[in-house]
Amino acid sequence: MAIIRKKVRLRARQRGFHLITDEILQAIPELSSVSIGMLHLFLRHTSASLSINENADPSVREDMEAFFNDIADDKHYYIHTYEGDDDMPAHIKSVLLGNALNIPVTDGRPDLGVWQGIYLGEHRDAASSREVVITLWGE
């Protein structure tokens, strides 16, 4: 069994949900040699998230952004505001969506459904680049 660990730096993106499947796959060419295994992605940030969702219609990403803004933004009771008005909502969105994914690997590819892709949820208005730790293990 082989274990590979890498870090990939994702470019800074505007607030919203972004399809990053191809970026992740380009960072781990060793994936093609794994017949069966597991791909673990860990986002090293508390104001962004990782998720799996629809990869074809970009309106899904717009609807996701609108929904999470509706439930988390502009709450008068937030105390944690010294990093900006968008910071506490970003932490809440990160907790709700999560910062890690486990994806099975079959025949050198992530075993995602036909319409599934990996999303970065960027929850800050002026975010910097984001770092993902990739761990692949399999045979």
- Domain residues of the chain, as ranges? 2-138
36 Cβ contact partners less than 8 Å away, ≥ 6 residues apart: 105, 106, 138, 139
Architecture category of domain 2-138 in CATH: Sandwich (2.60)
Decide: 19 and 55 in contact? Cβ < 8 Å.
yes
d(CA 31, CA 118): 16
Q: If pLDDT is split at 50, 70 and 90, which confidence band does 1 have?
A: confident
Work out the number of other CB atoms within 10 angstroms of the CB of residue 53: 16
42-63 confidence digits (pLDDT tens) = 999 999 999 999 999 999 999 9
Residue 92 confidence (pLDDT): 98
d(CA 102, CA 41): 7
